[in-house]
Amino acid sequence: MTDVCVCHSVTEEDIRHAVVAGVRSFEALQWLTGCSGGCGGCEQEARQLLSDIITEIACAHPTFHLRPSHDGQ
């Protein structure tokens, strides 16, 4: 699978797994995967992919929470 972030070997599948694990922001994605923590050249694509994947999963699974489940809600 092609890396979205070459500097930190982050793939689209890694981003998908991060969303399933509760990631809902680019900052959380960076913290979890290191994505865009190098040259920064992947940031725009990574942000768009993160947004697209969150939307895709939320539409496919109506019970999917758009906010992380560990926020006390």
Interface positions, 47-66, toward ligand FES (CB under 6 A): none
Q: Is 36 in the site for ligand FES (CB under 6 A)?
A: yes
Q: Which of 44, 54, 41 is nearest to 15 (CA)?
A: 54
Q: Is 32 in the site for ligand FES (CB under 6 A)?
A: no
Beta partners for 3?
11
Q: Is 6 in the site for ligand FES (CB under 6 A)?
A: yes
Cβ contact 25:72 at 8 Å:
no
Which of the stretches 13-21, 30-38, 51-59, 64-72 binds ligand FES when contact is defined by CB under 6 A? 30-38
